[in-house]
Amino acid sequence: MIPIYRKDEINKFIKKYDTRRQRISEEVRSTVEKILTRVRGKGDEALYEYILQFDGVDLKESGFKVPEWEIEQAVESIPEKILSILKQSIENIQYYHEKEKRNSWLAWKEEGVILGQRITPLERVGIYVPGGRAFYPSSLIMAGVPAKVAGVKEIVVATPPDENGKIHPSLLTVAYLLGIKEIYRISGAQAVAALAFGTSSIPPVDKIVGPGNSFVAEAKRQVFGVVDIDMIAGPSEVLILADETANPDYVAADLLAQAEHDPSASSIAVVFSSRLAEKIQESVEIQKKSLSRKEILHSSLKEWSGILIADDFPSGIELINHIAPEHLGLHVKNPWEVVGKIQNSGAIFIGSFSPETVGDYWAGPNHILPTNRTARFSSPLGTEDFLKKSSLIYYSKDALEKVSESLIAFAKMEGLDGHANAVQKRKS
């Protein structure tokens, strides 16, 4: 049962909630470090060993890369209705991410001075998609579409194989629809290592994006600097702000939708009356009975979830901005008035008919979002994550002459004679 925290108990919940951000265990850290070192040194040999060890699949004969015929076969096996849904989802996500794209620019500041910025796509990007027993085509859509919109030349997918060494047809179909042909059957920290360092059969990438378990997250942390990464993702979370106009069944459904992700997922409701809190709690229990992932729901709701009864609206907003939720649902009378008060949230779902589900699969914004309070300083994955910027600076001879004395003085103030000399040599 999801617990209710009354006004004098909220601080207790917040202290417990904040422990979700605790640092990675030493066991995970050291295990990942060993895997990265071995893959970096032994390459494909280490990958084959780890895939056999962790996934129970021997790929030495078939290799890591999924052949094109297998991709085409997968597309043919997908029912027409599902194919149409996948195409529409991609179209929706592409529409949104095209709005995010930025262009290079130049500005003539004054005579003889031109400043600007050149924006170019990354050359090669690796997308990690969780898989194996489960499959997540939506994760590939959310990572692949903005990379494609940005103009990334080479998009690579790494995803775990099932017990037969196969990748789910829906995932291969999304890759086909996005024009991705380089798909590798590799999992976990070893997949991150292969993408970062490269092996004889897998060329390295410039950036790794996509969600994964704690080993994937730690591997991404450790290879950052060799390559770029999107973020260190933690367990998923939702917070629903609900006033007296909220439908308790809708709130409960949204809490359960998030809780089914993972035993460490967090589902929180912030309300302003005991009556509404009890109605939501009751609805959660009723709806939970009809859902399949009962053990995960039980753990998530008991350990990391809660219905918080806030004193008033300002204190409710304060709670939101402290928790900085990955997903925020506004089930309130005037949700558009509330949006401007939200400082920290990955995605904001406005009104009672905007469930998280529509954001996960359909609406357009990215569902790869900052978790564990990182929405305080980071943003959803987007087109800009696959672009890089180069500053452009042009000074004519006359323009440099005008500022040369200031430059020389500044350089000498810092004790950098070479900098001063670089200007002095150009003076008339």
CA 23 to CA 426: how far, in whole Å? 53
CA 114 to CA 384: how far, in whole Å? 24
CA 203 to CA 197: how far, in whole Å? 8
Identify the DSSP state of 377: T
Count Cα neighbours of 103 within 13 Å in the Cβ-side half-sphere: 4
Q: Would you say 146 and 383 are in contact if contact means Cβ atoms under 8 Å apart? A: yes
Catalytic member of 327, 331, 356, 367: 327
Helices (DSSP H) in 185-312: which residue ranges? 188-197, 214-223, 248-259, 274-288, 294-303
Question: The sheet that has 207-209: what strands, in order across it?
Answer: 182-185, 154-159, 124-128, 207-209, 228-229
Catalytic member of 237, 260, 326, 356: 326
Residue 187 has φ and ψ, to the nearest 5°, of -125, 165
CA 183 to CA 402: how far, in whole Å? 56
For residue 123, indicate whether it is catalytic. no
| Degrees, nearest 5: CA angle 276-278-284 | 105
For residue 327, indicate whether it is catalytic. yes
Return the active site residues.
326-327
